[in-house]
Amino acid sequence: MNSTAESRVPELGSSDGSDDIYEALRRYGIVKLPGRCASADLAEIRAECSGVIESPPAESVILDYGSGAGYRLLRAQLAASHKTTAKFFGQRWMRDVTDRFFGRDYAFNNDVIIVYDKVDTEHFARAPHYDKTPNLKFFLYLSDVTEETGPFTCFPGTQTFGKQAQVANRERKRIPEPSETRLLPPELVEHPVPIIGPAGTLLVIDGDIIHRGAPIRRGHRLAVRSRSYLSAYAP
């Protein structure tokens, strides 16, 4: 596989298993999974996450999210009071994909971030970049997402660039500066792919893919995502 961008995001159905998801993830760096969240669960998760935004738990970490809002919690902290969200991110198939992705000691869906974007929300993730450390994320839209409401935007197939660029740092477990993960060949960021979808759309994301958070031009966006990472990078 080379470091050039692909032109599309693979979309898999409910009958596709963890092996299918992993193989698509390995090639493209991202997979779109419509309908992976049952409507009843989606309503519960939306209510739980809206509750965090409106009344943040004492154990939550406030993120720098401009005029919007962002909070990080450990999934274990959600288990008692936000049961549906915690259960959703603890599914067996997610662990199976994560097993294939890391293949060694890792923290499975350890932290959960809830974000609320609105018009004029500005933050550091607006510029194209890849993650500083190896991450696997499961990203769930809790509101309908159009090109005007801040879709997750990426450059499919570019995850190989991030992996190659950080080989030396990762061998030494050195975490790069954010500016280093924004030094990108122009040809890799020529054709952004915004991922739109109704509430309940789930994305599986290799953190090494070049990506950005598109701005909100109308309305708002509510989303929640989990993060798995190698234990060597534990906070």
Residue 13 lies in a domain: no
CATH number at residue 28: 2.60.120.620
Count of CB atoms within 10 A of residue 219's CB? 15
Residues of the domain holding 141: 18-230
Kindly state the average pLDDT of the residues 160-180: 96
Query: Cα separation of 146 and 97, whole Å?
Result: 27
Which tens digits make up the pLDDT trace of 215-229?
A: 899 999 999 999 999
Domains: count for the chain = 1
Average pLDDT, the chain: 93
Which tens digits make up the pLDDT trace of 36-88?
A: 999 999 999 999 999 999 999 999 999 987 778 999 999 999 988 999 999 99
- Model's pTM, two decimal places? 0.94
Which tens digits make up the pLDDT trace of 113-136?
A: 999 998 887 666 778 999 999 999
User: Is 50 exceeded by the pLDDT of residue 1?
Assistant: no
- Closest by Cα among 23, 7, 235, 232 to 134: 232
Which tens digits make up the pLDDT trace of 183-214?
A: 999 999 999 999 999 999 999 999 999 999 88
Residue 131 lies in a domain: yes
Q: What pLDDT score was predicted for residue 65?
A: 79
Residue 2 lies in a domain: no
Residue 27 lies in a domain: yes
Residue 35 lies in a domain: yes
Residue 4 lies in a domain: no
